[in-house]
Structure 1
């Protein structure tokens, strides 16, 4: 019987004082805390399973509050996410929830978060994102980014930017979001990497792909985290590796 493993890790990095990332895998959430080693969960294939990373917007209040709110909302809605329209509606609810929470507490005004993830269905996978957290498909022939960064064009010679053109929350007045959504067939052996930019900013995509070719499961997640730390660990590092087994 086909099954899924989700191996996840969330770490503060070497520079930030606390972790503003959150993660959801099915009913399991990890909010603003640190895992010292990769955690692996196993799920049957069938009921929609959501795996997502939310990265609270740095430099604005309540990043950890916004990211936690979003992953908990997705955990509750996960089993109902049977198609693109359901995911679109869920992300709209998440966006409205972040704004509503900010309105109730002046100290949380302008809090916001990115989100990126995948809903694994019985025969397909639905990838979604708002912001610059990323989802990659990892296959034998290399790494392919499936998500779409919501960030302005890069200056010549620049590989990364902290600027966002879209997020859940993040402004004083409500702003609707247009999530990026794509659906692909699902096969045994498929792997998807969901991560915050605490991994992809310091670690080039070619290195991420190389590590995923060499390793799988917990070892792959550990080596990716280690690469980000060795590159300076400038931001919170959160990642989940989804693998379809049989």
Structure 2
């Protein structure tokens, strides 16, 4: 299996700084090509959310550079190994960002969605309301939002439609740097050929529907890096035309 990757971020219409951070890369390993992708949405005063999101992206990139080669050199990778590594990494990042925020006198934090695609498996970790999707002949969300309104939807207290218009939709239940005891969500499964895997911040999908995302980013439209970038930027511009107020970020992987 091979991969094409792309991504884009935009400050949006309102904010003075872009507090989103992301990275997506193809990696050559003894077990074949892999892809690592990460998207973080920072929050905090005095633009410090940008520092929080960039810190988590940096910490995970260090794992890719330093730890992943050791795992793949043994030609053996497991969900347990990935889960334990990522959980320890998130705990360390949480403590570091929380301590820095306390030194500055205000809370800063970030959401996280990270994904590792191997030749046959995928691994995802999620904290907050950044999301991962799989697009084949349909669009499927792979993560659950850790937000107050999402929990109320799951509990049957409100509907999906009510959640979209709820003024509390940005209230997070989990955030790296702002939650003392984190409970990251982990997901694993099989990688599908001729599919698109997409990670995004909430600013990318507040005012754009999932059917619109599918129409622009489905595998028939994402055939090379140039098209992928153009399609992602097209949706970013659509968000801005519809007066999205947040930063807007998306990273995508095409399998073939």
Asked if TM exceeds 0.5, the reply is: yes
CA contact (8 A) 1:5 1:43 kept: no
Q: Which piece of structure 1 moves more, 47-56 or 83-92?
A: 83-92
Q: Which structure's residues are more often helix, by fraction?
A: 2
In the TM superposition, what are the counterparts of 1:52-71 in structure 2 within 5 Å?
52-58=38-44, 62-71=48-57
Report the alpha carbon displacement of residue 114 of structure 1 after superposing the two structures with TM. 0.3
Report the alpha carbon displacement of residue 60 of structure 1 after superposing the two structures with TM. 8.1
**Runs of at least 5 residues in structure 2 that lack an aligned partner in the other structure:** 72-76, 223-227
Q: Which piece of structure 1 moves more, 191-200 or 118-127?
A: 118-127
Give the number of aligned pairs: 225
Q: SS of the counterpart of 1:234?
A: coil
> Cα RMSD between the aligned structures?
2.4
State the 4+ residue runs in structure 1 displaced beyond 4 angstroms.
42-45, 58-61
Does 1:207 find its partner at 2:212? Answer: yes
Cα gap change, 1:55 to 1:129, in 2 (>3 Å): same
CA contact (8 A) 1:14 1:234 kept: yes
TM-score (norm 1): 0.82
Q: SS of the counterpart of 1:201?
A: coil
Which residue pairs with 2:194 in the alignment?
A: 189
Which residue pairs with 1:149 in the alignment?
A: 145
CA contact (8 A) 2:3 2:35 kept: no
Q: SS of the counterpart of 1:116?
A: strand
Task: State the structure with more CA Rg.
Answer: 2
In 2, Cα distance between the equivalents of 1:66 and 1:49? Answer: 23
In 2, Cα distance between the equivalents of 1:9 and 1:3? Answer: 21
Which residue pairs with 2:243 in the alignment?
A: 232
**Runs of at least 5 residues in structure 1 that lack an aligned partner in the other structure:** 27-41
TM-score (norm 2): 0.79
